[in-house]
A and B are shown apart, each in its own frame.
Chain A
Amino acid sequence: MVELIDVINIGLFAAALRMATPIALASLGGIFSERAGIINIGLEGMMLTGAFTGVMVSYFSGNPWLGVLAAMLVGALLGLLHALLTIKFSGDHIVSGTGINIFAMGFTAYMSQVIWGSRGASVSVRGLQTVSIPLLKDIPIIGDILGSHTPLVYMTLILTVLSYIVLFKTPVGLRIRAVGEHPSAADTAGINVFQIKYLCVMVSGMLAGLGGAFLSLGHLNLFAWGMSGGRGFIALAAMILGRWMPFGAFGASLLFGFSDALQMRLQALGLLPPQIILMIPYILTIAVLAGVVRKAIPPSDYKPYVRE
Chain B
Amino acid sequence: MNMAVRMINLTKIFPGVVANDSINFLVEKGEIHGLLGENGAGKTVLMSILYGLYRPDRGQIYIDEKEVNVDNPATAIKLGIGMVHQHFMLVPSLTVAENIILGREPTKNKVLLDMDKILNDIEGFSERYRLKVDPKALVYTLPVGVQQRVEILKALYRGVEILILDEPTSVLTPQEVEELFKAIRALKEQGKTIIFISHKLKEVLAICDRVTVLKRGKVAGTVKAEETSPGKLAEMMVGREVIFTYEKKRVKSEEAVLKVEGLKAINDRKLPALNGVTFEVCKFEILGVAGVEGNGQTELVEVLMGLREATAGRVFVDGTDVTNTVTGERIELGVSYVPEDRRKRGLILDFSVMENLILGKHNKYPFAKGWIRLNFEKASDFAKGLIQEFSIKTPSEDAPARNLSGGTQQRVIVAREFSRKPKLIIASQPTRGLDVGATEYVRKKLVEMRDQGCAVLLISADLDEIWALSDRIAVMYEGEVVAIRDPGKTSELELGLLMAGGKRD
Contact = CB atoms under 8 A, between A and B. Distances in A.
Direct contact of A and B (CB under 8 A): yes
Contacts of A178: 91, 94, 102
B491 interface: no
Nearest to A178: B91
B73 A190 contact: yes
Interface in B90-107: 90-94, 98-99, 101-105, 107
Given A170-B111, A171-B107, A191 B102 contact: yes
Given A169-B113, A174-B94, 6 more contacts: A171-B113, A174-B101, A181-B94, A185-B90, A185-B102, A189-B103
* Pairs A-B, 4 closest by C-beta atoms: A190-B74, A171-B105, A189-B103, A185-B89
A192 B102 CA distance: 12
B77 A190 contact: yes
Contact of B92 (A165, A182, A187): A182
Interface in B65-100: 72-74, 77, 83, 85, 88-94, 98-99
A184 interface: yes
A182 B98 contact: no
A190 B92 contact: no
Interface in B106-126: 107, 111-113
A178 B107 CA distance: 18
A298 to B, nearest CB: 11
B47 to A, nearest CB: 12
A43 B53 CA distance: 34
Interface string A165-200: 100011100110110011011111111100000000
Interface string A147-169: 00000000000000000010001
A174 B98 CA distance: 8
A188 B51 contact: yes
A299 B93 contact: yes
B86 to A, nearest CB: 12
A294 interface: no
B53 A170 contact: no
A277 B206 CA distance: 76
A267 B53 CA distance: 60
A188 B93 CA distance: 17
Interface of A: 165, 169-171, 174-175, 177-178, 181-182, 184-192, 299, 307-308
Contacts of A165: 112
A175 B103 CA distance: 7
Contacts of B54: 308
Contacts of B73: 187-190
Contact of B91 (A169, A177, A308): A177
B111 A181 contact: no
Interface in B17-68: 51, 53-55
Contact of A190 (B55, B72, B88, B107): B72
A184 B89 contact: yes
A156 to B, nearest CB: 22
A192 B74 CA distance: 9
A188 B54 CA distance: 11
Nearest to B87: A184
Contacts of B113: 169-171, 174
Contacts of B215: none
A181 B91 CA distance: 7
Contacts of B107: 170-171
A299 B90 CA distance: 14
Contacts of A308: 54-55
Nearest to B270: A295
A94 to B, nearest CB: 19
Contact of A181 (B55, B77, B92, B101): B92
B70 to A, nearest CB: 12
Nearest to A301: B91
Contacts of B51: 188
A189 B72 contact: no
A182 B89 contact: yes
Contact of B90 (A170, A182, A192): A182
B154 interface: yes
A87 to B, nearest CB: 17
Contact of A188 (B53, B92, B104): B53
Contact of B102 (A184, A189, A307): A189
